[in-house]
Amino acid sequence: MNSGILFLTLISNTGTQQCEDLKKDMQALELFLQDQDDHEQHCPKLKWDQPDISLYKKTLKSQLPEGCKK
C-alpha cells in the first residue's frame, strides 16, 4: 500500500473517531442538563445529588432517581 494512502486512511479514521467522541460528549451533556431541568420541574422535593458527567458519558442515559420521571 502506498504510504500516502496509508497516511490518509489513518487521518480519516482518527477524524471519524474524534467526531464520534464529540457526538457522545454532546449527548451526555444534553442528558446532564435535561436531568437538571427535569428534576427541578418534576420532583424538586426529592433529594438527588446529580452524578458527575462522566457517568452520563459512560451510560448515555438519564440518571434521575425512580419516581422522578416525566
Evaluate whether residue 27 is within a structural domain. yes
Evaluate whether residue 12 is within a structural domain. yes
Is 8 strand, coil or helix? helix
Evaluate whether residue 26 is within a structural domain. yes
pLDDT of residue 66: 87
Evaluate whether residue 64 is within a structural domain. no
| Number of domains making up the chain | 1
Model-level pTM greater than 0.85? no
Give the model confidence (pLDDT) of 36-66 as tens digits: 999 999 999 999 999 999 999 999 999 999 8
Evaluate whether residue 66 is within a structural domain. no
Evaluate whether residue 65 is within a structural domain. no
Phi, psi angles (nearest 5°) of residue 52: -60, 150
Sign of CA dihedral 5, 10, 14, 19: positive
Residue 10 structural domain: 3-59
